[in-house]
């Protein structure tokens, strides 16, 4: 990765209005005048304007002269230091990258070669985790992005309107980008080995009934007590071979005290390792601060020109509802950073589909 920045600061335009034309014009007023070299754009549109996505993207592309422009629709949008939740909004980040360094793709079978890919995906795509992994390997790229979380239609834009599937843009090594991930859960108890399993059902952990190990880990006596923990009850799947402790979080979707089994949102096999975890406000804040400090250290004297942020919907709804918010934390470490992104139903980092995480990418 190059140690030098590649151009001028990105520009962010945000327009919030019930009428899509007024929202686009509000965004363009902040974007203009653009540098002649501006050649890439990222657009996030409120799902309240989902049916106007083609008109919005065509208007922005024509007004800016940028063809390498991708977009997605979501319930909550991030722009600058503000989250727009259930509001009609158009947010557009535009910048300059080295000529020829960006390639837009409209479907995962295209697989352009590069070192970093920005990906939007529909959550209803079959076998999505495997598709993401295969795409990353075939493209030779580290992926960032997320699953669209919207009410009703979930349109994407990449050279045209896309319904379903996966699309985005891949950058070559000519464009330096720094990226990192922050987790939103804390581990409860130790790591356990799966000693009996059937598909997505864990039957035994450390040769004991999985339900008994779950109950002991949370120090409760009954299924009723476990249910009181509500949606905070999850499992972590450790990832080996990474330079820092990393794991995937999956929901517990069923518990059978009689059979002693636990059903989770992932396929597992005997010999796999798991631990139990919960969403935790304090640990989520600490880990985000750790991520930002690490990125700041890695940047050194370089100032990021723009940023993309993909965060779990549950984080903004449950964990960062009090000050400082996620976006405020980012802006404290990187003041006045032009940033855009969305709140997702699953976050993509490297070649994996995460949950309850935040993924930040900085263009240098």
Among 248, 278, 308, residue at a domain's last position: 278
Instruction: Provide the pLDDT for residue 314.
Output: 76
Q: Is the model's pLDDT at 351 over the cut of 70? A: yes
Shared domain check, 134 and 215? no
Instruction: Provide the pLDDT for residue 302.
Output: 95
Mean pLDDT of 57-61: 97
Residue linked to tokens 């449950």 = 318
**6 found inside a domain:** no
Shared domain check, 53 and 124? yes
Instruction: Provide the pLDDT for residue 187.
Output: 82
Q: Residues of the chain with pLDDT > 70: what percent? A: 91
Mean pLDDT of 306-315: 90
**260 found inside a domain:** yes
- pLDDT tens-digit readout, 121-158: 999 999 999 999 999 999 999 999 999 999 989 999 99
- pLDDT tens-digit readout, 257-298: 888 999 998 899 999 999 998 777 777 888 889 999 999 999
Between 186 and 273, name the one with better pLDDT. 273
Q: How many CA atoms lie within 13 A of 128 on its CB side?
A: 22
Q: Is the model's pLDDT at 325 over the cut of 60? A: yes
Shared domain check, 158 and 296? yes
Q: Is the model's pLDDT at 323 over the cut of 70? A: no
Count: domains in the chain: 2
pLDDT class for 183, splitting at 50, 70, 90? confident
**1 found inside a domain:** no
Shared domain check, 175 and 56? yes
Shared domain check, 191 and 116? no
Mean pLDDT of 244-259: 84
Instruction: Provide the pLDDT for residue 317.
Output: 55
Mean pLDDT over the full length of the chain: 90
Instruction: Provide the pLDDT for residue 240.
Output: 74
Which residue segment(s) compose the domain that 239 sits in? 186-278
> Could you tell me the pTM of the whole model?
0.87
- pLDDT tens-digit readout, 8-35: 999 999 999 999 999 999 999 999 999 8
**4 found inside a domain:** no
Shared domain check, 257 and 135? no
Instruction: Provide the pLDDT for residue 322.
Output: 61
Instruction: Provide the pLDDT for residue 3.
Output: 40
Shared domain check, 246 and 207? yes
Shared domain check, 294 and 165? yes
């Amino acid at each position: 990765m190059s140690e030098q920045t590649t151009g001028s600061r990105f520009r962010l335009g945000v327009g919030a209005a019930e009428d899509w034309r007024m929202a686009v014009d509000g965004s363009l007023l902040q974007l203009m005048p653009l540098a002649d070299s501006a050649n890439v754009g990222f657009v996030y549109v409120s799902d309240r304007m989902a049916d106007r996505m083609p008109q919005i993207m065509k208007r922005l592309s024509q007004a800016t002269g940028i063809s390498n422009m991708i977009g997605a629709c979501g319930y909550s949008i991030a722009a600058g230091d503000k989250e727009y939740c259930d509001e009609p909004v158009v947010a557009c980040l535009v910048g300059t990258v080295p000529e020829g360094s960006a390639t837009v793709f409209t479907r995962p079978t295209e697989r352009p070669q590069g070192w970093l890919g920005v990906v939007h995906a529909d959550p209803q795509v079959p076998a999505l985790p495997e598709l993401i992994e295969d795409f990353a390997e075939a493209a030779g790229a580290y992926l960032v992005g997320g699953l669209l979380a919207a009410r009703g239609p979930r349109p994407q834009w990449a050279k045209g309107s896309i319904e379903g599937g996966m699309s985005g843009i891949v950058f070559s090594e000519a464009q330096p980008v720094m990226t990192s991930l922050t987790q939103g859960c804390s581990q409860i108890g130790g790591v356990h080995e799966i000693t009996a399993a059937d598909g997505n059902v864990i039957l035994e952990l450390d040769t004991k009934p999985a339900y008994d190990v779950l109950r002991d880990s949370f120090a409760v006596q009954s299924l009723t007590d476990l249910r009181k923990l509500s949606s905070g009850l999850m499992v972590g799947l450790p990832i080996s071979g990474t330079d820092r402790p990393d794991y995937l979080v999956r929901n517990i979707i069923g518990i059978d005290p009689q059979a002693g089994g636990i059903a989770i949102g992932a396929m597992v096999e005997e010999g796999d390792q798991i631990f139990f975890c919960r969403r935790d406000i304090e640990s989520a804040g600490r880990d985000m601060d750790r991520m930002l400090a690490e990125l700041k250290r890695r940047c050194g004297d370089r100032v990021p020109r723009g940023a993309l942020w993909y965060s779990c919907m549950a984080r903004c709804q449950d964990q960062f509802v009090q000050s400082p918010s996620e976006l405020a934390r980012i802006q404290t470490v990187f003041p006045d950073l032009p940033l855009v992104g969305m709140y997702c139903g699953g976050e993509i980092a490297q070649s994996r589909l995460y949950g309850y995480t935040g993924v930040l990418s900085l263009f240098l």
